[in-house]
Amino acid sequence: MFELIGKSARAKTCEAMQGIVSEMEEDLEDFGGTPAADTILAACAQAVEHYEIARYGTLKTWASQLGYTDAASLLDQTLQEEKKADALLTKIAGKLNAQAA
Ligand SMILES: [Fe+2]
């Protein structure tokens, strides 16, 4: 991705993701070892996917607007993968919630 736009990549901590993980850890402290634990994991994984969908969607739009066609295409590919993961988690969560109820 960075090669496509002629920039060097650098790591940066994502506080939003850390927040989602912290929320999951707190919920597991309260409900770990219960039938709700798996639903908590699925819900947090889905929150991660939703965040990724928002970010990849924005980046794809920006890449497109700036004329980085190849980068936009690559970002769209990743965006579609994130949407598939979200759909799969929706199916899994539905089954888990039915079992926990
Ligand atoms: Fe993802």
Neighbours of ion ligand 1 (CB under 5 A): 49, 52, 82, 85
The Cβ of residue 72 has, within 10 Å, a number of other Cβ atoms equal to 20
Number of domains in the chain: 1
Domain limits at 58? 53-101
Let me know if residue 18 belongs to a domain. Answer: no
Q: What is the dihedral of CA 69, 74, 80, 85, to 10 degrees?
A: -160
Let me know if residue 73 belongs to a domain. Answer: yes
Tell me the CA–centroid distance for residue 51 and ligand 1, in Å: 9
* Rounded-to-integer distance, Cα 94 and Cα 58, Å: 28
Q: What's residue 96's pLDDT?
A: 87
Q: What's residue 100's pLDDT?
A: 67
Tell me the CA–centroid distance for residue 80 and ligand 1, in Å: 10
Tell me the CA–centroid distance for residue 65 and ligand 1, in Å: 24
Nearest to 85 by CA among 36, 41, 45, 37: 45
Q: What's the average pLDDT block by block, 10 residues per block, for the chain (101 residues)?
A: 91 95 96 90 96 98 97 97 97 84 69
Tell me the CA–centroid distance for residue 48 and ligand 1, in Å: 7
Tell me the CA–centroid distance for residue 29 and ligand 1, in Å: 24
Let me know if residue 88 belongs to a domain. Answer: yes
* Rounded-to-integer distance, Cα 19 and Cα 26, Å: 11
